Homo-oligomer: A and B are copies of this chain.
Amino acid sequence: MSSKYKALKQECYEANMELNALGLVIYTFGNVSAVDRENGVFAIKPSGVPYEVLKPEDMVVLDFDNNIIEGTMRPSSDTKTHAYLYKNWDDIGGIAHTHAMYSVSWAQSQLDIPIFGTTHADHLTTDIPCAPPMSDELIKGNYEHNTGIQILDCFNNKNLSHKEVEMVLIGNHGPFTWGKDAAKAVYNSKVLETVAQMAYLTLQINSNAPRLKDSLIKKHYERKHGKNSYYGQ
C-alpha cells in the first residue's frame, strides 16, 4: 500500500530515531513531528511505542485540528500541542519534545536559562524562556491544546520571536523545540540540552557569573545568522 505521506512519515521516523540516538529520551518518552504545509498535515510518533520497535509506517498523520488523516495507531499524547503550534506558526516545519536531563531540570526549577556564553549566542540572543505552569483551570481543560496557548502567551509576554528563539521550557514539564524541519527541531533539542548543562555548571562554579555582554551576543549571532554571516558553506 503506497501513501502520499510516505516521505513525510519517513522524515518524522528518522527524526524520532535521532532523538533517541542522541540520548535525549529513554523508553517511550519524547516525540517529534514533521509538517507537510502543502497538504496541511503533520506526521507524529505514535503514543507509548518504544524506539526500538518503531517503524516509519507507524507514524500518524493528522491535520491541524487533530483529525487523523492516515494511520492506525493512537498519536502521541502531546499531539494537540504540536497541532496548535503548526496552526499558529505557519513557517515552522518540525517540532520536538524531549525529557532530556538538564532541560527538564531547568524546567522543574521554573527559571529561564541565562545566556552565559557564545555556544548559546551562536543559536539565539536571549535567555531561553521558561513558561510558567498553567492555571488549574487550563490544566483540567484541554491540557495539551492549552500547552500550545501557554507557549504563545510566553512568547508574546516576553516579546520573543519564534523565528529566532526556536525553543522553550514548559515549567515543571520539559522542553519543546522547533525549526525549519524535523531534523532541525531535533538539532535544537540537543543544543538546548548542551546549553542547559553549561549554564548549570557555570552557576555551580560562579553563582555571580555575569550574562554575556550585548556586543558578544550580537557578534556571535550575526556571524552565524546575520545577512553578512560567514559561518558554514
A: residues with CB less than 8 A from B are 26-29, 46-49, 73-74, 77, 99, 101-102, 104-111, 116-119, 133-134, 136, 139-140, 143, 172-174, 187, 190-191, 194, 197-206, 209-210, 212-213, 215-216, 219, 223-224, 230-233
Contacts and interface: CB of A to CB of B under 8 A. Distances in A.
Nearest to A213: B133
A223 B77 CA distance: 8
Given A139-B219, A215-B139, A198 B47 contact: no
Contacts of A174: 117-119
A104 B117 contact: yes
A140 B210 contact: no
Nearest to A223: B77
Contacts of A27: 187, 190-191
Contact of A117 (B29, B74, B108, B187): B108
B136 A201 contact: no
Contact of A107 (B28, B117, B136): B117
Contacts of A29: 119
